[in-house]
Structure 1
């Protein structure tokens, strides 16, 4: 299958749709998942046009997973998470819903189960506040 230029993440990258940005480089964008499965759920996407892990270039994949590692550390630093779940799905049969390569970074706490993917959007103020907490903690973490 080919890359869909109008997928929701491509539209976010072009600035056509809003997002709650956490981190950005020339290669990746990290933003809050608007339908989080846990408080602080982030998405890491490449700026490259890649449908999923099956067609992304090695260099771009390295940038994505470097950001995933940094965001995992950030979740622990900013939110005091006990752990982090990393989810990356490919093609419909693998559970992929948006066909632009992406990785879910989901903060986890002992004794708290993940919420199901319900399609319910989080309150905008919560997303904005959490993104701000992440950005503030990022300067401490990288310092």
Structure 2
């Protein structure tokens, strides 16, 4: 693991090499609007340091994982969805639909979100 990866899309965004629309940032995290929004509000929160996914981040730097989560809460407050409700999601591994190999938290809200995962089944 290095602080940044030359071929990583989100590392390039954090460095400013690829433009983004910033929403919130700290010395350890950077939050920006998702260009393929899946809800009225869809913000990605990334650690500035490169970690492949949330599992690696949790294992190698749990304090930074907590900072990413706290940044997600601040994004929700700043975007005005903290009272109405929001969803925070990490996609880890191929079955989750992960497409960028840099740990990132999705913060979604601003509208009624659909059910998450499969519908409830009995029996």
1:84 to 83, 86, 90: 86
Counterpart for residue 129 of structure 1: none
The count of aligned residue pairs is: 111
8 Å contact kept, 1:83–1:107: yes
CA distance in 2: counterparts of 1:94 and 1:85, whole angstroms: 15
Mapped to 2, the partners of 1:5 and 1:93 lie a distance apart of 26
Q: Which of 49, 63, 66 pairs up with 1:62?
A: 66
- What root-mean-square deviation, in Å, do the aligned CA atoms of Structure 1 and Structure 2 show? 2.5
Q: 2:23 aligns to what?
A: 22
1:70 and 1:54 mapped to 2: Cα distance?
22
- 1:74, CA displacement in angstroms? 2.5
- Partner Cα distance (2:41, 2:110) in 1: 9
The aligned counterpart of 1:94 is 96
**Is the contact between residue 81 and residue 109 of structure 1 (CA under 8 Å) also seen in structure 2?**
no
User: Residue in 1 aligned with 2:12?
Assistant: 11
Correspondence 1:106 to 2:105: no
Structure-1 separation of matches of 2:63 and 2:49: 10
Kept in 2: contact 1:41–1:106 (CA 8 A): yes
**Is the Cα–Cα contact under 8 Å of residues 43 and 107 in structure 2 kept in the other structure?**
yes
Aligned to 1:72: 76
Cα distance change of structure 1 residues 25 and 10 upon mapping to structure 2, 3 Å threshold: same
How far 1:82 moved relative to its partner? 2.7
TM-score (norm 1): 0.68
CA distance in 2, matches of 1:80, 1:68: 10
